[in-house]
Amino acid sequence: MNTKFILVSVFFLLIIVSCGKDNQTYTVEIKDDVRHIHNYAPQWGDEPKIALEFVQKIGDLDTEDENFQLYLPNDVAVDGEGNIYVLDAGNYRVQKYDREGKFLASFGRKGQGPGEFERPLSLAIDRNGNLYIADQGKNRVIVLTPEGKELRTFKFGERVSPFKLFSSVNILTGTTARDMIISLDEKNKEYEKPVVQIYNKDGSLKKEFGKPVDYNDMFFNSMGNSIYFTFDQNNNVFISFGYQNRIEKYSPAGELFFTSERPLNYEISRPKSKMEETSGGGLVLTMPKMNNVSSGIGVDYKGRIWVTTYRKQREKDDPEPYLELEIYDNEGILLGKIPWSEDFTPARDDIHMFGDRVFFRDSEGISVYEYKIIEK
């Protein structure tokens, strides 16, 4: 009798968990103490309860002011006073503006000396206002004072890549498509490289986590597992996969809290590359197309997760929007969607959130746009 009671109790518990809220807009499975969330529809229905309100645009193609002539801005950061910093990578400098967009200062130039850049990729600011710039040309992180003087440099990993800075000055980074390194020696090895890495402030590895998918193809294992990453005020780590239907949350120690998926209007691709030998003894590699799923992730001041998602694959000369902003609660439940309707296309890896302030870079590499989150 006790065994039957336990089985019935477990059965009804599973029903409760799987039904979720609001007429089954999602279900939850518990596997190995991890929540696996299957979203079917937004909790808010067709009317999102938040919106983005345009604030300002920094950078313009037609401006005559060189301080606003941006060229390939790679990153955006905000300091404790609300000032805006733009990593103007194509001009090898960091541009500082106040909250209203007034130009304040410029740091850096092209070169190999102190405070100079070769290929700047990523920008972050610590609690003291110091600037951390990942320079892939130097394969170093360059640390500048708030006044732009070089304090020190350090390296993390084999090759410095885009990163974010924890409040404890730890480095959060992960597998990105532009970091794909092909090794013919590992052609037949099972792919197990974790997708997230955390380094301390001197560049040594503290931990790594995040299970990759093995595509059984050496050329796609890194690309297919490329991620976009961010963290919240409690240093929980959030990642979205560029080519997989996966959104995940981890503790600062790397414990997986949940993995979440949503309905898509296309298939998740698992392609294979093809290598053929030419008559001259060389090799020709054919790379098939992978379907894009997401291109950015951020966490707002209420802990909600924002993911830039492909609602369909982009097609040439198709005027219909192919991107949308998805909003999830902190536990991975899909709340709502905002179709992308702005007159510019956001760049990849591009949703920068600081409280209720949201920044996007345009894909043309000319401007940075600021928005404010509005609660309806």
Does residue 85 carry a pLDDT above 60?
yes
Q: What is the pLDDT of residue 321?
A: 86
Does residue 82 carry a pLDDT above 90?
yes
Residue 314's CB: how many other CB atoms inside 10 A? 12
Encoding tokens for residue 170?
């730890």
pLDDT (mean) for 154-162: 90
Query: With contact defined as beta carbons under 8 Å apart, do 94 and 103 qualify?
Result: no
Residues near 265 by Cβ (< 8 Å), separated by ≥ 6? 311, 312
pLDDT in tens, 25-55: 999 999 999 999 999 999 999 999 999 999 9
- Would you say the C-alpha torsion 288, 210, 308, 84 has a positive or negative sign? negative
Percent of the chain, pLDDT > 90? 73
pLDDT (mean) for 257-281: 82
Does residue 19 carry a pLDDT above 70?
no
Give residue 317's pLDDT band: very low, low, confident or very high (50, 70, 90).
Answer: confident
pLDDT in tens, 179-218: 444 444 555 466 788 999 999 988 999 999 999 998 887 7
pTM exceeding the 0.75 threshold for the entire prediction: yes
Q: What is the pLDDT of residue 15?
A: 43
Looking at the chain, list the stretches that DSSP marks H as alpha helix, in order from N- to C-terminal side: 2-19, 218-224
Type of residue numbered 337: K
- Choice between 251 and 223, residue whose per-residue pLDDT is larger: 251
Give residue 21's pLDDT band: very low, low, confident or very high (50, 70, 90).
Answer: very low
pLDDT (mean) for 234-253: 96
pLDDT in tens, 4-13: 444 444 444 4
Lowest mean pLDDT among 88-102, 104-118, 262-276: 262-276
Q: What is the pLDDT of residue 291?
A: 92
Residue 163's CB: how many other CB atoms inside 10 A? 25
Give residue 288's pLDDT band: very low, low, confident or very high (50, 70, 90).
Answer: low
Percent of the chain, pLDDT > 70? 86
Lowest mean pLDDT among 102-116, 239-253, 283-297: 283-297
Residues near 30 by Cβ (< 8 Å), separated by ≥ 6? 17, 36
Q: What is the pLDDT of residue 14?
A: 45
Measure Cα distances from 269 to 79, 285, 318 in Å. 40, 19, 22
Q: What is the pLDDT of residue 7?
A: 44
Lowest mean pLDDT among 155-164, 188-197, 204-213, 256-265: 188-197
Give residue 358's pLDDT band: very low, low, confident or very high (50, 70, 90).
Answer: very high
Measure Cα distances from 68 to 83, 100, 346, 367, 368 in Å. 15, 14, 19, 9, 10
Encoding tokens for residue 140?
């170093």
Give residue 251's pLDDT band: very low, low, confident or very high (50, 70, 90).
Answer: very high
Residue 263's CB: how many other CB atoms inside 10 A? 10
Does residue 18 carry a pLDDT above 50?
no
pLDDT (mean) for 56-73: 95
**Helix or strand (DSSP H, E) at 93:** strand 93-97
Residue 51 CA to residue 64 CA, distance in Å, equals: 33
Instruction: List residues bridging with 93 in a β-sheet.
Output: 88
Average pLDDT of every residue of the chain: 88
- Choice between 228 and 272, residue whose per-residue pLDDT is larger: 228
Does residue 178 carry a pLDDT above 50?
no
Cα 22 to its chain centre, rounded Å, is 30
Residue 9 CA to residue 180 CA, distance in Å, equals: 49
